[in-house]
Amino acid sequence: MSINDIRQAVLAGDEQGAARSAQAELDAGTTAQEIMDSALISAMDEAGAKMATGELFIPEVLVAADAMKAAMDVITPHLAVEAAGGRGTVVIGAVEGDVHDIGKSLVALMLDGAGFNVFDLGVDVATEDFVTAAREHDADIVAMSSLMVTTMPKMKVVIEALHAASLSAKPIVGGAPLTQAYADEIGAAGYAPDAGGAVRLVRDLV
């Protein structure tokens, strides 16, 4: 067994193989931190890169994330508490008035798979619920989606509310009618046009 076996099992979406290889590697004396950094996060980074080029499809990336989580279950008891917390915390939701779920849920799944702690507030999320969740979970990122021109202005309201509450969470936005220019105009910390881009954006910001 080797670090590479764990990576390959994750990329193949082989949950049992990933868990088995992770246990064997622990037994061989490799630290949990080394397994997380060199095998699991590395594998998910590769999966994300392959998705960006169209080599991997979304369902294949999601089963890779499942395999990564199976391996994480094995190594987590051996990790330092702070390291087990993942890469950062993201609160995500569709803004008030908007009930479109697909893109937002996909971004949440992809972020979860990439190792972030994700709190998905769902759709039609009130501004105060974004603020409360960001405070409760000490979020690094507040991700908002909107699929309608009529609900886009709510994103600015949330951003202003986060500032008013003196929270440090960085607001990011996405959705079909959104553009980088609009994100800049409302003071968002970032914008991504698709789920893969959202993961890359969050990695850059956290």
Partner 1 sequence: MGDTLKLRLLSSDQVSTMREKCLYLLSTMGMRIDHDGALDILAGAGADVDRETHVVRFPVDLIETAIASVPGELTVKGADASHDCPIPHPEGLFYSCTNIQSMLHHDVDSKRFEDNTAARYAEWCQIIEILDHADICAIQTPMDVPAESAEVHALSIQMQNTTKPLWMHAFSREAVPFMFELMVARMGSVEALREQSVAIINPGTVSPFIMKEMDAEEIIQACHHGVPISADGHVMSGFVSPMTVAGSVVQNCAEVLAHIILCQVVKPGHPAMMTQFNVPGDMATGFSTLATPAANVQRSAGVQLCKEGFGIPVSGCPIMTDTYVSDGRAVAEKALGGLMSIMAGMDIAYGLGRLGGASLASPAQLIIDNQLIALLKEYVGGVQVDDDHLAVEEIVAAGIGGSFVHSKHTLRHCRDYVEPGLFRFQLQQTWEAEGEKDLYERAVDEYRRLKTEAKPVDLPDDVRRDMDAVVARADKALCP
The residues, ordered by sequence, that sit 6+ positions from 153 with a Cβ below 8 Å of its Cβ are: none
Strand extents, DSSP E, 98-206: 117-120, 141-145, 170-174, 190-191
Question: Residues 158, 95: contact at Cβ < 8 Å?
Answer: yes
**Best CA proximity match to 70, nearest among 25, 21, 119:** 21
103-122 positions binding partner 1, by CB under 8 A = 103, 106
Q: Which span (13-21, 29-37, 85-93, 100-108) binds partner 1, by CB under 8 A? A: 100-108
Q: Which span (35-43, 84-92, 114-122, 189-197) binds partner 1, by CB under 8 A? A: 189-197
Residue (84 or 197) nearer to partner 1, CB = 197
114-173 positions binding partner 1, by CB under 8 A = 148-153
What track of x and - describes contact with partner 1 for positions 4 through 43 (by CB under 8 A)?
----------------------------------------
Using CA atoms of 127, 130, 131, 134 in order, give the dihedral in degrees to the nearest 10: -170
Q: How far is the CB of 6 from partner 1 (least distance, A)?
A: 25
3-state secondary structure of 168: coil
Q: How far is the CB of 148 from partner 1 (least distance, A)?
A: 5
187 binds partner 1 (CB under 8 A): no
49 binds partner 1 (CB under 8 A): no
Q: How far is the CB of 197 from partner 1 (least distance, A)?
A: 10
Question: Residues 175, 147: contact at Cβ < 8 Å?
Answer: yes
According to DSSP, residue 41 is labeled I
Question: Residues 92, 114: contact at Cβ < 8 Å?
Answer: no
d(CA 22, CA 34): 11
Q: How far is the CB of 200 from partner 1 (least distance, A)?
A: 14
Cα Rg, the chain, nearest whole Å: 18
Residue (26 or 158) nearer to partner 1, CB = 158
51 binds partner 1 (CB under 8 A): yes
Residues in touch with partner 1 (CB under 8 A): 51, 54, 56-59, 97, 99-103, 106, 148-153, 176-177, 194-196
